[in-house]
Amino acid sequence: MSMKQGGAALVALILLTIDRVKAAADESEAAHRAMCALTEAASATFTAPSGTADNDGLNDKIQAANMSVADAQWQALFDDGAGSKPYDQTTSDNRTLADKLGGKEKWDGWRKAFADIKALNIGTKTEGEYPKINSEVERTIARQQLRSIAAQANKLEMTMKPLKAFLSDGKINKINENLRKALYGGDGELSTPTLDKSFSADGSSWNNLCKGKENRKSIAGDFFCICTGAGAGTKQCSGAYGHTAHDSQASINTGWTALQQSCGKREQSKATAGTIYTAVAQWRTALTQKASGSDNSVWLGKSSSTGTACAGTDTNTCIDYSDFFKKTGGQDLSTLPWLQALTGAATQITQAEETAAAVKSLQAQMQALQGASVEIYSAAASGVLAKEMTIAIPTAPPTQREPQAQTQKKQAELAETECNAAKDEDECKTKTGCIYDKANKKCTLSEEGKQPAENTAAGNQAGTDGKNTAGSNSFVINKAPLLLAVSLF
């Protein structure tokens, strides 16, 4: 052999030796990457999407506005100052009354609405979203409109309640619980791989701790077992991980901290279904499958032969998953404990995203209802709501139909009574359509104020002629934006 040939052979031998050392040191690097991805996905946390936690008290405003224009006797039922008590404190006739009116939820809801009149400044000041309504006529008309809006708002609130609870209550959606259960096993409350919960209870040997399908309890447990073996050399998974001890919980804690660090620095991330499914796909791609008799052997990591050779030793730093891939006599892959918990979390995250979209849609409807309530209230406070309303009288048999002149007379009488209630000239000036008769020292309905009643009668006539098709006892709002907001629901 020439000097040149000898030199070439030596170089080849050196390169082969280096390659073998490298193979031993990084023999399970693909498994390491896959388990890092699973660890990251399962370490993420779920929080309710922004904009779904509350509706800024919109329904509270609507219910308080509705209560503020209610009859005084009705309000008194829910006024602490008049002796009203929470449902649980009611007794005797008061409890009977509360039950007849709908029970605890409705009773306490009305009490809150009454209290919110003052708390939210509903109809108590001359300015704001809900300014004070001075006219009883306007108040009566507003009451009819707000009652319907309040009923719709309550239905929306009841629909949103369980949806919001699913998003905000981890005990209901169980997303974070399942993520922790996938990562560490147990009941979802662990924060590190733990003997008996994440793998076997016996860490005296690798086989006792890791071998067997019954010990495939957690991502962290499987990850630790692939990369940690007292009978193996160091750094089989990664040059950044050299821990080998697993004989105690303390050594497991130390090893797990180092193993997480070997994945690289990761900021706490937001849990997503996409991240979970991507990590699971990477794990499945990293698996090795080999024929074993009439069936298959499937493992993750480096094996000298098949999954049965996994032992936490050099060339056998792996985890055997064969029982979850057998043609017969095995277990469905979906029953692999950590995979079941992880995919369960992904399913719940998808459900949460759909729920959040539904909540936002319902909140938009609530916003529209609250906007309509503000328009109604403002119009009533300005004294123009009555002028913008056409009252549709239901069609009745000829013998029951009230003469139009009589209907007009009743409208005028109602307005006149409202004016007469003024105690002095100053109060009279605050009432729409009223004028103070100084000679008789009396507030009366002005000629201008009589016009709405006459217009109402004309509108009623239109209804009997078949031109007005509004339903029985309904109010048609001529104010276009307000009509649009109300008709949406």
Per residue in 462-480, pLDDT (tens digit) is 333 433 333 333 333 333 3
Using the 8-state DSSP alphabet, how is residue 313 labeled? B
Question: pLDDT tens digits for 270-298?
Answer: 999 999 999 999 999 999 999 988 899 99
Radius of gyration of the chain (CA): 38
When pLDDT is cut at 50, 70 and 90, the band that residue 138 belongs to is very high
Q: What is the mean pLDDT of the chain?
A: 84
Spatial CB neighbours of 299, under 8 Å, sequence gap ≥ 6: 287, 288, 306, 307, 310, 318, 319, 320, 321, 322
Percent of the chain past pLDDT 70, that is, above it, reads: 80
Which residues, in sequence order, are bridge partners of residue 299? 288, 320
The answer to whether residue 337 scores a pLDDT higher than 90 is yes
Place of tokens 């009288």: 393
Nearest to 40 by CA among 288, 313, 274, 216: 274
Lowest mean pLDDT among 68-77, 400-409, 442-451: 400-409
pTM score: 0.73
- For the chain, what percent of residues have pLDDT higher than 90? 67
- Enclosing H/E stretch for 318: strand 318-320
Per-residue confidence (pLDDT) for residue 433, from 0 to 100: 79
Strand partners, 300: 319
CA 316/CA 308 separation, integer angstroms:
9
Cα–Cα dist 276/260, whole Å: 18
Provide mean pLDDT across the span 483-489.
33
- Who has greater pLDDT, 307 or 397? 307
Query: Above 90 in pLDDT, residue 300?
Result: yes
The pLDDT confidence band at residue 223, using thresholds 50, 70 and 90, is very high
Contact of 210 with 273, CB cutoff 8 Å: no
Helix, strand, coil share of the chain (percent; to 5): 55, 5, 35
The residues near 64 (Cβ < 8 Å, ≥ 6 apart) are: 113, 114, 116, 117, 119, 120, 122
Separation of alpha carbons 193 and 178, rounded Å? 15
Q: Return the higher-pLDDT residue of 408 and 269.
A: 269
Distance CA 232, CA 28 (A): 12
Helices vs. strands in the chain: H and E counts, helices first: 18, 7
Check residue 408 and give its pLDDT: 52
What mean pLDDT do residues 119-138 have?
95
Neighbours of 442 (CB within 10 A): 14
CB proximity list for 489: less than 8 A, separation 6 or greater: 152, 365, 368, 369
Eight-class DSSP state of 191 = S
pLDDT at 387: 82
